A = this chain, B = another copy of it.
Amino acid sequence: MTVNPSELQRVLDGRWADVRAEVRAQLGALAVNPDPDLSTEEYRALTTENLRRLAESGRPHQGFDPAYGGGGDVGGVVTAFAALGYGDLSLLVKAGVQWGLFGGAVQVLGSSRHHDKYLRPIMDGDLLGCFAMTETGHGSDVQHLRTTATYDPDTQEFEIHTPDPGSRKDYIGNAARDGRMAVVFAQLITGGTCHGVHALLVPIRAADGTAMPGVTIGDCGRKAGLNGVDNGRLSFEHVRVPRENLLNHFADVAEDGRYSSSIESSSRRFFTMLGTLVRGRISVAGGAGTATQKALALAIRYGATRRQFADPATGEEVVVLDYLVHQRKLLPALATTYALHFAQADLVSDMHDLQSFGAEQNSDSDTERRQRDLETRAAGIKAAATWHATTTIQTCREACGGAGYLAENLLPQLKADTDVFTTFEGDNTVLLQLVAKTLLSDYGRRVGKLDLVGKARFAAGLVAGSVAERTGLRAVLRRGDVRDRAYQRWLLVQREEHLLAAAARRMRRALAPGADQFAVFNGAQDHLLVAAQAHVDRIVADSFAAAVDRVEDTAVRALLEEVRGLHALSVIEGDRAFFVEHGYLAPGRAKAVTHGVNTLCGRLRPNARMLVDGFGIPEAWLACPLLDGERDATAAATDPAPSTEEPTDLAAVG
């Protein structure tokens, strides 16, 4: 069956295909590959210039409320943002800071008084701003930030203050050079009572660029990557802002200092406010995805022309992508990239439906459940996608050898720029713990709802499970072919449920009287992470499977089903110790998994180029000397072979 490449791209482009097409056409001109020898200052200037051009394109407006001149297309703007990952990641992150974090916070945490005044200049790029949440001493533990916003009813102002060096705002994008205003997260205090973390608008620089009185601005300086983004530090020495600068969508302070909120529990309020910011996390996962796709496009296209070492039988040098170990480096990673692409598309689509303007007014329990599910999925997929980016881009660099180490071949920049994705917008380890916590409480609810008979059955199931484990009965009970999709899913589901049940049992010990809670939680921490990872693996595999089933074109569907199989089998292979140890896979079956991965690598090899072309990365964004060999290879294929004494070697040059 012949696959039509444009049909494949159509499937990958998905719901926002038109947005993708526009972005490819519209943004091609934006500083594709900045000179790698730019100084930090030069690179920052270039990025700011490109940010303004991006604003002029009207693209960033698409994510904002139509009532204020926005396009109201939340899913579209996140999709467009991710596509910037094919180009310059500094621009992507600077745009994310300006319109996603800063603009997004004003939009969702603020009210009409902020929207009227600020949304337009934010969209137009006339008011550049910061999202000042993280502090030097508190990155992951946002609830315990220490910057204060104390209300003074006499002047009807908030006083923003940095009480100690650890509560300095740190790593803040747009702070070191460009920002004029910041959304500052601080402990809100009024009438001597602390109401927890809230966000306020604080001017940080005057029009001429000098720091506002009481504001100290520092510079984080050179970083591993993303040097087009001006990350800085902000400290506040009793800085006063009007009462109206509180972003008051969820809570407000009256003139007399009275605090009010539509959400009574301060903890729930905190998590609701943070939850609205899920878009940033989803955007990072998207950017990680496109950067990974670009790295794979480079490495796979290079591997498909680069030759090294001769086949002893023919004397002809072998294309490196024909070597099994080279395929194993790149093709399972490609399959996982596909899987994450579809999981991300589902996530963006659900976010769009849930958060689009108008829909956000609902606050029934179903919407709340969907929002919570969205946040859990976003956390899990963000962790999976960014770790996958880190390892895959690293592998791509190595797969290109010395050429992959040269800046001219783009991989070093991709690696350096994406490196921080695993720890910003939520540290991956912390995010997976959040996922585990949600899974555990859902699990507890499920078990808690059982009646007596159900509980007895549940307990019996656990006993039977451990007997089955000891006797290897599970594998006997469920025989099947590891190449079979249903069998693969059974394995992934079993792993998730097994790990979750075992984690729940361990956690229950923490409830015993006199238990050292920290010791119990800490001792199970690695177990919880593995359980969360197993969950994410399963939902990603499910997204991919559903996407394959939606494909109408028979040839594309058959191809994608093989890619899906490679993803599922390589996930199973990666944790085959679990499956064998717990009796889900007989030892012989585990070898079949490895064999299956090898076989699918070989089967997909001829389509590897088409699979990376499917991402639709503009050719200008990939152009680099690494791919010069393709031109030579094409020439060699069409030119008559030169007459030479050493034909086999000459054929290999290039």
Contacts and interface: CB of A to CB of B under 8 A. Distances in A.
B587 A164 contact: no
A146 B166 CA distance: 60
Contact of A591 (B323, B419, B581, B587): B581
A47 to B, nearest CB: 16
Nearest to A164: B653
Interface of A: 36-37, 39-40, 134, 137-141, 144, 146, 164-167, 170-171, 220-225, 307-314, 317-318, 322-325, 328, 390, 394, 397-398, 401-402, 404-408, 411-412, 415-416, 419-420, 422-424, 427-429, 469, 516-518, 522-523, 525-526, 529, 576-577, 580-583, 587, 590-591, 594, 598, 649-650, 652-654
A224 B308 contact: no
Contacts of A220: 406, 408
Given A36-B222, A328-B526, A412-B224, A405 B427 contact: no
Contacts of A654: 137, 165-166
Contacts of A318: 518
A581 B587 CA distance: 5
A522 B322 contact: yes
Given A170-B402, A406-B221, A649-B144, A469 B587 contact: yes
Contact of A405 (B419, B518, B591): B419
B590 A577 contact: yes
Which of A390, A516, A581 gathers most chain B CB within 10 Å?
A581
A40 B38 CA distance: 10
21 contacts: A36-B221, A37-B221, A141-B317, A146-B653, A165-B653, A223-B405, A223-B406, A224-B405, A224-B412, A225-B412, A324-B522, A325-B429, A325-B525, A405-B420, A412-B416, A469-B587, A523-B598, A526-B594, A577-B577, A580-B580, A581-B590
A88 to B, nearest CB: 15
B581 A224 contact: no
A161 to B, nearest CB: 14
A68 B324 CA distance: 49
Contacts of A322: 522
Contacts of A412: 223-225, 416, 419
A266 to B, nearest CB: 16
Identical copies in the complex: 2
Given A138-B308, A312-B517, A398-B428, 16 more contacts: A139-B401, A139-B402, A141-B309, A141-B317, A144-B317, A171-B402, A221-B407, A222-B407, A225-B412, A325-B526, A390-B394, A397-B419, A398-B422, A404-B423, A526-B598, A582-B587
Contact of A223 (B140, B223, B324, B407): B407
A523 B402 contact: no
Contacts of A39: 37, 39
A423 B299 CA distance: 15
A188 to B, nearest CB: 15
Contacts of A171: 402, 405
A235 to B, nearest CB: 14
A420 to B, nearest CB: 5
B394 A652 contact: no
Contacts of A523: 324, 598
Contact of A587 (B223, B328, B398, B580): B580
Contacts of A594: 526
Given A141-B308, A516-B313, A587-B583, A423 B402 contact: yes
Per CB-CB distance, the 8 closest pairs between chain A and chain B, nearest first, are A224-B412, A166-B653, A577-B577, A222-B407, A36-B222, A581-B587, A171-B402, A324-B525
B165 A224 contact: no
Contact of A577 (B165, B518, B580): B580
Contacts of A166: 652-654
B40 A37 contact: yes
A322 B170 CA distance: 24
Which of A139, A324, A428 gathers most chain B CB within 10 Å?
A324
Nearest to A521: B312
Nearest to A144: B649
Given A137-B654, A167-B653, A407-B222, A311 B518 contact: yes
A18 to B, nearest CB: 36
B423 A140 contact: no
A422 B329 CA distance: 14
A401 B525 CA distance: 19
B577 A522 contact: no
Contacts of A308: 138-141
A312 B522 CA distance: 12
A311 to B, nearest CB: 5
Contact of A518 (B313, B422, B516): B313
Contacts of A404: 423
Contact of A423 (B144, B164, B398): B398
Contacts of A416: 224, 412, 416
Nearest to A140: B308
Nearest to A36: B222
A75 to B, nearest CB: 29
Contacts of A307: 137
